[in-house]
Amino acid sequence: MKNRIGFIAASALALSLVSGCAVADVGYYAERHPNIEAASVHAEQAIERMQAAQRANHYALGGHAGRAIALLHQAQAEMEAAAATASSHAY
């Protein structure tokens, strides 16, 4: 069980580092794509709440919270990609 929690924590950390690099120019996307930026902020808030739930339950959530956090990081990366794609088109 401890190995699984460690793996999930390491995965979440790796994804957060990757997504952190991907959103280096947040101001640009926030200005041009406010809906995508708002969705990304909500995803970040959801991550923080899931982490709080993990702490409150002593990380005994069967790996589901860790998986949810990883999926939220994935969603943020997709939001960044959507903003970049939309920015590459002249609408």
Tell me what pLDDT residue 89 has.
82
Where do the domains of the chain lie?
2-88
Q: Which amino acid is at 83?
A: A
Handedness of CA 43, 49, 50, 52 (dihedral sign): positive
What is residue 37's predicted lDDT score, i.e. its pLDDT?
94
Q: What's the pLDDT score for residue 9?
A: 58
Which amino acid is residue 11, in one-letter code? S
Burial class (CB in 10 A: 0-12, 13-18, 19+), 62: exposed
pLDDT for the residue 30: 72
Asked whether the whole model's pTM tops 0.75, one would answer no
Give the whole-angstrom CA distance, residue 12 versus residue 2: 15
| Confidence class for position 21, pLDDT limits 50, 70, 90 | very low
The residue length of the chain stands at: 91
Q: Is the pLDDT of residue 24 over 50?
A: no
Number of other residues whose CB lies within 10 A of the CB of residue 25: 11
pLDDT tens-place string over residues 55-80: 999 999 999 999 999 999 999 999 99
